[in-house]
């Protein structure tokens, strides 16, 4: 997938006019791009359309219309678009209760490096986490991480040939997997590998 350019974005006024329809389309699109792993962790897989929506929303919220500000947003978000050999995801640890969240994030230090995906018949691919900045401390992990799953040519060929795709977390304090992913979710993700 190619990165977004300023010319791919709508003006603030045009986005305001199109936002209800665009938002509805994005919400339907995102439903096929999320994988819950156990009760408290979810992978939200990004692509060019989800990132365009995120950039448009940031420009709207911040009322950014100058070229430099738009370029800054594009530079921040473009790295989250998959580049053909990988999948990229926002990984969220979700605990509604604040006290439980604090306890669990302390127990889950390092979890971001234990998130994996697997193509049937191939080894697991563990996430490369937080390439933009460190999000964990010695006391706790963050509730949000940005992950990249890099696939080798054999895995890519297998996926394009119909092989099943699975995901999971292999942390001492959180072990869950989804094997295999739903066929519609798998199809949406494999489309990112072109």
pLDDT digits (tens, 9 = 90+) for 1-50: 689 999 999 999 999 999 999 999 999 999 999 999 999 999 999 999 99
Which tens digits make up the pLDDT trace of 122-178?
999 999 998 876 777 789 999 999 999 999 999 999 999 999 999 999 999 999 999
The Cα–Cα gap between 18 and 105 comes to 39
Contact between 178 and 37 (Cβ < 8 Å): yes
pLDDT at 180 over 80: yes
Long-range contacts of the stretch 15-18 (C-beta < 8 A, 24+): 15/56, 15/59, 15/60, 16/60
pLDDT at residue 5, rounded to an integer: 96
Same domain, 129 and 149: yes
**pTM higher than the cut 0.75:** yes
pLDDT at residue 90, rounded to an integer: 96
Same domain, 118 and 191: yes
Where in the sequence is the domain holding 11, given as residue range(s)? Answer: 1-31+48-81
pLDDT at residue 136, rounded to an integer: 77
Same domain, 98 and 159: yes
Strands 165-171 and 124-126, bridge-based pairing: unpaired
Mean pLDDT for 66-72 is 95
Tell me which residue has tokens 């986005």: 15
Contact between 119 and 151 (Cβ < 8 Å): yes
Which tens digits make up the pLDDT trace of 75-129?
999 999 999 999 999 999 999 999 999 999 999 999 999 999 999 999 999 999 9
pLDDT at residue 135, rounded to an integer: 74
- Reported as a pLDDT band with limits 50, 70 and 90, residue 194 is confident
Q: Could you tell me if residue 140 is inside a domain? A: yes
Q: Could you tell me if residue 106 is inside a domain? A: yes
Helix (H, G, I), strand (E, B) or coil at 169: strand
Contact between 129 and 145 (Cβ < 8 Å): yes
Q: How many structural domains does the chain have? A: 2
DSSP class of residue 182? P
Q: Could you tell me if residue 119 is inside a domain? A: yes
């Amino acid at each position: 997938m190619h990165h977004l350019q300023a010319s791919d974005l709508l003006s603030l006024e045009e986005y305001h006019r199109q936002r209800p329809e665009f938002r509805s389309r994005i919400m339907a699109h995102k439903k096929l791009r999320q994988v819950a792993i156990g009760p408290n962790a979810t992978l939200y897989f990004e692509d060019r359309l989800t990132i365009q929506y995120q950039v448009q929303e940031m420009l709207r919220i911040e009322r950014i219309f100058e070229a430099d500000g738009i370029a800054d947003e594009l530079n921040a978000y473009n790295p989250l678009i998959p580049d053909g050999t990988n999948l990229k995801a926002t990984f969220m640890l979700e605990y509604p209760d604040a006290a439980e969240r604090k306890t669990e994030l302390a127990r889950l230090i390092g979890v971001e490096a234990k998130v994996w995906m697997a193509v049937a018949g191939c080894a697991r691919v563990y996430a490369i986490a937080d390439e933009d900045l460190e999000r964990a401390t010695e006391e706790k992990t963050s509730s949000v991480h940005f992950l990249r799953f890099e696939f080798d040519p054999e895995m890519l060929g297998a996926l394009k040939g119909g092989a099943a795709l699975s995901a999971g977390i292999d942390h001492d304090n959180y072990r869950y997997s989804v094997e295999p992913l739903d066929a519609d979710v798998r199809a949406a993700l494999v489309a990112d590998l072109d």
